[in-house]
Structure 1
Amino acid sequence: MSCPRDSSSAGHACAVPIDERNQMPTDLDRLVEGMSSARIGSSIPRADASATWLYPSPQMFFNALRRKGHTPQAEDMEVIVTIHNMVNEQTWQKILCWERYYHPNADPKLSRFLGRPDQLSPRAWFRTWLLGYTRPFDRHDWYVEREGKEVRYVIDFYSGGGDGASFHIDARPALDSVPACYERMHCFSNKILHRLRQTMDRLLKSDQL
């Protein structure tokens, strides 16, 4: 499991074999001396198997970054892969929060995913251009199999600010079906009601009402 990109915007015309599940080249195992090629398992179940998704090795991640035109440093790969894996685990947990709340009897599994860093989601566009938020540094679309149907989640990744590696992950169902629209609106209204209750509680405690 890695951070794939939409091959249509990759900016090169190299004819290489592509894995349709993650839009990544399949020839990422070229060895660099001293770099680990060991892969570890995630907690994210695969829709096409009984196993979970495997994270890329430092070697694979290094080769993927070079293929995208970056200049990674071999000595940084262990840390980068660790952060990458942590972010993906947190992303899956956020998706599970939606799934468990609105579909408690389902057994969701990740079928495929796609990186779209150059395409702002409508929500990110609104936040960036109208509310003045910092632009997300990445966007993914994750496709989840739920009870025989594939549903899409949109994930925007924001830098958390401050010192160190911190992130904000905004994961939500894509607005491409009636059930997903209901879930988004229901969640939004619940947040508004929760904030109103908090405001009322503070005012009551301060004797301003």
Structure 2
Amino acid sequence: MGWFWADTPAAPAAANTPPASGCPVPHAARAAAAPHPTVQDGQTPPPRGVVHPRSDANENWEYPSPQQMYNALLRKGYQDTDITAVEEMVAVHNFLNEGAWAEVVGWEQRFAHGLVKGWQTCKRGEENGPEQIAKIKEAYETEPTLIRFQGRPKEMTPKAAFWQLLGRVYPSKTEPPFDRHDWYVARNVNGQPKEVRYVIDYYTGPPEPTGEPVFYLDVRPALTPTGAAERLIRWSSDVWWRASGGAVREATAQGKA
């Protein structure tokens, strides 16, 4: 899911209802203590499901319930929120987070065991990524876990700022992200957890012909030295594979074998 880097031809996500701007609800909230009046009479459905394994406990982070989302919207000042729409808003919120986590796991499967194995996984392009990941068995030894997260909707990432600069030339093609999250993930390195930060920009796209809104996720490691190397390896490997006709070369070589 999502547009997380220029090298990945993944489809955008369509949903029936856009999320509340700024993602006001903590994903891990277990209670909804709020200074504003809340609705507790069954008008909002109960919580549904969990997401993302925690790094500090043998359990998962919990999704917000519609009740928690509604209370958070009240705290944010959205007093005219239609309570009947809250469940769909939560569904979109959770759907986008599931997609973001899937992209994080994809990065971890490629690079959790170093840049060399990351290159081995990426060298045949995105189209062969799952096959290459399956060849590196260590990718499945330990799953990444989510340490913590941070919503930073008012702080634009350098990449998003760059696209906004280009927007002065092509303004219709460079809408700013409507939200930003930083997710901190525990990566197992030689038996020891290492904290890795991922940056997620949330964009809206042109609606579907049916009127459903479309969202794009740009998920990538933060621009640390290691994160920059991972991004460069994944992007350049896919560009080289496609530009040099890697699939054709392989097919030709197999035909001669």
When the two structures are superposed, what TM-score results if normalisation uses the length of structure 2?
0.64
2:231 corresponds to which residue?
184
Q: Which runs of 5+ in 1 are unaligned?
A: 11-18, 202-209
- Counterpart secondary structure, 1:190: helix
What SS does the corresponding residue of 2:213 show, helix, strand or coil?
coil
CA offset at residue 172 of structure 1?
Answer: 0.3
Structure 1 residues 24, 139: closer, same or farther in 2, change over 3 A?
A: farther
Instruction: Give the letter aligned to residue 151 of structure 1.
Output: V
Letter of the 2:222 partner, please give it. A
Equivalents in 2 of 1:160, 1:196: separation in Å? 27
> 1:33, CA displacement in angstroms?
3.3
Asked whether the 8 Å contact 1:23–1:114 carries over to 2, the reply is: no
Q: Does the 8 Å contact 2:30/2:64 carry over to 1? A: no
**CA root-mean-square deviation:** 3.1
Which sits farther off after the overlay, 102-111 or 153-162? 102-111
CA distance in 1, matches of 2:111, 2:194: 15
Structure 2 counterpart of 1:65: 73
Q: Quote the residue 2:103 is aligned against.
A: 94
CA 1:198–1:23: 2 relative to 1, 3 Å: farther
Pairing 1:75–2:81 present: no
Query: Which of 39, 47, 56 is matched with 2:47 structurally?
Result: 39
CA distance in 1, matches of 2:175, 2:244: 29
Q: What displacement does 1:4 show?
A: 11
Contact 2:28 2:64 survives alignment (8 Å): no
**2:195 paired with 1:160:** no
Paired residues of 1:62 and 1:74 also in contact (CA < 8 A)? yes
Secondary structure at the aligned position of 1:188 is classed as helix
User: In the alignment, which residue of structure 2 is the partner of 1:142?
Assistant: 183
The letter of the residue matching 2:43 is: M
- Secondary structure of 2:212's partner? coil
Q: Which residue of 2 aligns with 1:14?
A: none
Which residue is 2:159 aligned to?
A: 123
CA distance in structure 1 between the aligned counterparts of 2:32 and 2:40, rounded to whole angstroms: 17
User: Are the equivalent residues in 1 in contact too, given 2:108–2:144 (CA < 8 A)?
Assistant: yes
Distance 1:25 1:50, change over 3 A: closer
Deviations 1:131-172 (A, max 9, x none): 541111111001111121211100001112123122111100
Question: Does residue 53 in structure 1 map to residue 61 in structure 2?
Answer: yes
Name the aligned partner's letter for residue 180 of structure 1: G
C-alpha distance 36-26 of structure 1, shift in aligned 2 (>3 A): closer
What amino acid is the match of 1:157?
A: Y
Q: Is the 8 A contact 1:4 1:24 kept in 2?
A: no
SS at match of 1:144: strand
Of structures 1 and 2, the one with the larger relative CO (CA 8 A, separation 6+) is 2
